[in-house]
Amino acid sequence: MKMPVVTVTLVSAALLYVLWDQTRGTPAPASAERFSNLATSPASRGEVLDFVVSRVPVFCSEATGRDSGETFNDCVQRANSRSSSCRRTMVGQFPDNVMSEAVFRDLSITMINCLVPQSGVVQP
């Protein structure tokens, strides 16, 4: 029986890639300083959304008035469960590259309102 060399090679390469990808680790979310000069250093929409999602506990703390407890935890859980659908919504509304403070502000506020809706808050 002849050994399928090409198939074995491709499967081995795919397995090595998967193992390599899993050992890389995830990059840390950007800090606020990353977005201070968008005109010369534009950010991707994904970077901005990652930054907003990383701050969900802060937004829930502001919305609930608490840093812990059942209400706070429920807020964080709801925001995390909404993050995928909110990201998809932002894809249709905003450009791929954020090159101005106005676009950054509108994208951030819209994403925050999607993740942690609050009554009485002015929408952009």
pLDDT, block means (10 residues), the chain with 124 residues: 83 89 72 83 91 91 85 91 92 90 93 84 54
Q: What is the pLDDT of residue 4?
A: 84
Q: What span, in angstroms and rounded, lies between the C-alpha atoms of 122 and 115?
A: 15
| Count of C-beta atoms within a 10 Å radius of residue 39 | 8
Six token digits for residue 108: 């951030």
Overall pTM surpassing 0.85 (yes/no): no
Q: What is the pLDDT of residue 9?
A: 92
